[in-house]
Amino acid sequence: MRKGTWWHWVASWIAFAGSFANSACSDSSSHSWVHPWDSSGGAPIWHADEPGGVSGHYGVGGSAARGGGFADGVEPGANAGSAGSACDVGRTSLDRPDDVSGYQVRVNYVLPSDGIDEELDLNGALERSISVTREWMFQQTHGRVFRFDTCEGKLDIRFLRLDRSDSDMRNEGAFLHDALERAMKEAGLLSPTKLEAVFYGGDAAAHCGSAAWPPDLPGRLAAMYLKGTFHSATTPDCDTTRPGESETTPNYTDFGMLHEIFHTLGAAPECAPHHTRAGHTSDSPSDLMYSGEAYWTPRVLDFGRDDYFDHGRPGCLDIASSAFIEPLPSEPKLPQGW
């Protein structure tokens, strides 16, 4: 096990338990740091709906998986795009042409082999989820937002189906994030310029989301586990809220993904004055990156502007200077390890 990882896992689990015990919803703000390094067992193999051509709804994709891990044919219920523009509405596992170059966030809808396809990439749910938090961030920062992967102005959403069952993946426990990222890396589905935002339509053992947290826990994947379960009378399961339920107001799942993206870029750094619990803040439960004993009620991006966005302190990570922000900062910076 990598030096220091065990402590961050323990600290994260403590934070995770505390926040969920005091949250009206399963609070992803308490498990984004779960990114252990010594996972055992084979990595998932990806299935993809159309290895032969682009037809996806806001879709992007990657290269063929190792060992023939992509399934042939279109997923049942999928809408095939027309043969016109590479950005036509439909579903794809392939990489559409990018509107812009540079660092950006790519959205993925991922299912286990036996997962129910709710067509979240086709019915507008994921698009609404990203749009509503992007607008929220725009208002919070006076116009600065994360750059998302688009094709002809349409949000690119890649569809992937695992070659492992829901129960098999759930058995990864705290290693589920690693299993997803490892599989994508081995299948050639990671890009050197893209952060992968994964909406996983499967179960997860007692957590609703996870992400990297560089430099201690490097990685390129932020995940929300849409069907995570707690088997608890006091803690709601993760499907209590669904992505993109509103076009105007982010819900727990929407905020959860934004929270995990910030983690993947390094927030909140240990040098932050209110840093706590491996990547979180302690000064207000209204902060997007809060973790603590109070209910998480996200309404503010960096309460007090002194921990992870626009704090202006040299030598301490400031996401306002990230290369993933648009408009591009004057001196854009990448997360450590990229």
Helix axes 125-141, 252-264, angle to 10 degrees: 70
Structure-model confidence comparison of residues 86 and 226, the more confident one = 226
Torsional class of 61: left (φ above 0), alpha (ψ -120 to 50), beta (otherwise): beta
Torsional class of 86: left (φ above 0), alpha (ψ -120 to 50), beta (otherwise): alpha
Residues in the chain: 338
Q: Determine the pLDDT at residue 94.
A: 86
Contact assessment for residue 158 and residue 109, using Cβ atoms and an 8 Å cutoff: yes
Flag whether pLDDT at 207 surpasses 80. Answer: yes
Structure-model confidence comparison of residues 286 and 19, the more confident one = 286
Question: pLDDT tens digits, residue range 216-274?
Answer: 999 999 999 999 999 999 999 999 999 999 999 999 999 999 999 999 999 999 999 99
**pLDDT, mean over the chain:** 80
Quick one: average pLDDT of 91-105?
A: 93
Domains of the chain, by residue range, sit at 43-272
Quick one: average pLDDT of 270-286?
A: 98
3-state per-residue secondary structure call for 96-134: CCCCCCCCEEEEEEEECCCCCCCCCCCCCHHHHHHHHHH
Question: pLDDT tens digits, residue range 27-64?
Answer: 333 333 222 222 223 333 333 332 222 222 222 222 22
- As beta bridge partners, residue 154 has 151
| φ, ψ dihedrals at 164, nearest 5° | -120, 150
How much is the CA Rg of the chain, to the nearest whole Å?
A: 18
Structure-model confidence comparison of residues 66 and 91, the more confident one = 91
| pLDDT band, residue 84 (cuts 50/70/90) | low
Q: What DSSP letter does each residue of 227-295 carry, written as one string?
A: T-B---SSS--GGGS-TT--SSS--HHHHHHHHHHHHHTTPSPTTSTTEETTTEE-S-TTBTTB-SSS-
Flag whether pLDDT at 74 surpasses 70. Answer: no
